[in-house]
Amino acid sequence: MAARSFLCLLIMALLVQSSLETAEIGDSKSLGLPANGVNRRLLQAIDCKGACGQRCKAASLNDRCLRACGTCCARCKCVPPGTYGNKDLCPCYANMKTHGNKPKCP
């Protein structure tokens, strides 16, 4: 009889723990958080068109620069200041590569 009671308590404890873990996961999903804890909606909104216009104003191939910068800005939510360099201020922007393994972002 004691073994049967112990088994029932053990099963109940496992069910409670399982439901608590499910509730924690469910809570993060209800907040819009993905399982890995990164929430892109919390990233700061940025005016990519304006920021890239500033970044590319001195570029010889302005339309190409604007297109690449716009892609990078949309993904990283960041554009380094100035018309050249300063990529250390925006690591995501600096680390993006093309298929040819060249820097993607101007």
Asked if residue 88 belongs to a domain, the reply is: yes
Neighbouring residues of 90: CB distance < 8 A, sequence distance ≥ 6: 76, 78, 79, 80
pLDDT of 45 reads: 82
In this predicted structure, the answer to whether residue 21 has a pLDDT above a threshold of 60 is no
List Cβ<8 Å contacts ≥24 apart for 93-101: 96/72
Count of domains for the chain? 1
Asked if residue 85 belongs to a domain, the reply is: yes
Asked if residue 16 belongs to a domain, the reply is: no
Asked if residue 12 belongs to a domain, the reply is: no
pLDDT in tens, 75-95: 999 999 999 999 999 999 999
H helix or E strand, kind and range, residue 13: helix 2-30
Higher pLDDT, 9 or 56: 56
Asked if residue 36 belongs to a domain, the reply is: no
In this predicted structure, the answer to whether residue 14 has a pLDDT above a threshold of 60 is no
Asked if residue 26 belongs to a domain, the reply is: no
In which domain, by residue range, is 81 found?
44-95
Asked if residue 51 belongs to a domain, the reply is: yes
User: What is the mean pLDDT of the segment spanning 57-77?
Assistant: 95
Asked if residue 1 belongs to a domain, the reply is: no
